C-alpha cells in the first residue's frame, strides 16, 4: 500500500471539512491511503456531526468573530485557533479500517505520540476513562480539549490533553480528523514542520505503507464548490 502525503492547504471551515470528506468519497487513486495537514484561513471552530447546535453555541466565545462548521465525523467541539490539524483516510479493506473504532483511534494516536516524543514533547496515551456523573449535553465528547478520552494523547507530566480526533466509516473507508493543541504541546518551541514529516512516516509504518509525496488530486468540476456550499449552509449547521 501507498500513503499519499498531500500538499498543505489553507481554507475556511466549510472548505476544510468538505475537502476531507471528498478525500474519503472521491479520491482518484483506489486502495491508496491519504494524509494531509492543513491550516485555517481565519479563527475557526468545528463540532461533531451528532452534536446539538444549541449546546454548541452555548460553548463558543462571546463577542468574537470566527468560522463555524459541523464536521462529517463525530466527536466534540474543537477550537482551531491555535491547533495543528490533519486528516487521514484509510481505504476500505485495509486491516486498520476493519477493526473497532477504539483500535484505529489508538493506532493513529500511537504514531502521533511517537512523533511528538521525537519532537521533544513528553506524551503518553490516556489509558483509562474519566469517571462521569452522567452524559454531557450534546453528546459524550462535549468540548474536545477540556477532557481527555481513552487513547487521546496527553502530556506525560500534567495529564493535559494534547491531541484528539474523530472518525467516520462508510463503504469507501475510514476518515480520521485529528487536532493537536499547540499550546499544550509547547507552542512555538516545537518544530511543527518536522513533527508533520515524522508523523507521516510513522503513520505510514503503522499502515504498512510506503509514504509518497503526492500532488493535489483533481476532483470533478464543481464538486468541491458544491460541497463547500452545503457545509456552509444553515441547513447543514442547524439540522440537529
Q: At 98, is the secondary structure helix, strand, or coil?
A: helix
As given in the structure block, the three cell numbers for residue 29 are 487513486
Question: Distance of alpha carbon 193 from its chain centroid, rounded?
Answer: 17
Average of per-residue pLDDT across 85-100: 94
Phi-psi region of 213 (alpha: psi -120 to 50; beta: other; left: phi over 0): beta
60: pLDDT confidence band, cut at 50, 70 and 90? very high
Average of per-residue pLDDT across 44-53: 96
Residue listed under C-alpha cell 490533519: 86
The DSSP call for residue 189 is: G
Average of per-residue pLDDT across 71-87: 96
pTM: 0.92
The pLDDT value recorded for residue 240 is: 81
- Domains in the chain and their CATH numbers? 2-232 (3.30.930.10)
Question: Could you tell me which of 146, 138, 189 has the C-alpha nearest to residue 164?
Answer: 146
Average of per-residue pLDDT across 207-236: 94
The pLDDT value recorded for residue 145 is: 75
As given in the structure block, the three cell numbers for residue 40 are 485555517
Query: Is the predicted pLDDT of residue 223 greater than 60, yes or no?
Result: yes
The pLDDT value recorded for residue 77 is: 95
Amino acid at each position: 500500500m501507498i500513503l499519499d502525503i498531500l500538499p498543505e492547504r489553507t481554507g475556511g471551515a466549510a472548505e476544510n471539512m468538505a475537502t476531507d470528506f471528498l478525500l474519503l468519497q472521491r479520491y482518484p487513486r483506489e486502495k491508496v491511503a491519504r494524509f494531509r495537514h492543513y491550516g485555517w484561513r481565519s479563527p475557526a471552530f468545528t463540532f461533531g456531526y451528532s452534536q446539538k447546535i444549541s449546546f454548541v453555541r452555548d460553548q463558543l466565545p462571546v463577542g468574537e468573530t470566527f468560522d463555524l462548521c459541523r464536521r462529517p465525523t463525530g466527536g466534540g467541539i474543537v477550537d482551531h485557533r491555535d491547533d495543528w490539524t490533519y486528516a487521514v483516510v484509510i481505504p476500505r479493506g485495509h486491516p486498520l479500517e476493519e477493526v473497532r473504532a477504539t483500535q484505529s483511534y489508538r493506532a493513529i494516536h500511537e504514531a502521533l505520540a511517537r512523533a511528538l516524543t521525537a519532537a521533544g514533547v513528553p506524551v503518553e496515551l490516556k489509558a483509562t476513562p474519566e469517571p462521569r456523573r452522567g452524559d454531557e449535553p450534546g453528546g459524550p465528547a462535549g468540548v474536545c480539549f477540556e477532557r481527555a478520552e481513552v487513547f487521546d494523547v496527553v502530556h506525560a507530566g500534567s495529564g493535559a490533553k494534547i491531541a484528539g480526533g474523530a472518525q467516520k466509516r462508510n463503504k469507501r473507508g475510514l476518515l480520521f480528523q485529528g487536532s493537536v493543541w499547540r499550546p499544550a504541546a509547547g507552542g512555538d518551541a516545537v518544530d511543527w514542520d518536522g513533527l508533520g514529516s515524522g508523523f507521516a512516516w510513522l503513520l505510514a509504518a503503522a499502515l504498512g505503507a510506503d509514504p509518497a509525496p503526492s500532488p493535489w488530486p483533481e476532483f470533478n468540476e464543481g464538486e468541491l464548490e458544491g460541497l463547500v456550499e452545503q457545509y456552509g449552509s444553515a441547513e447543514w449547521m442547524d439540522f440537529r
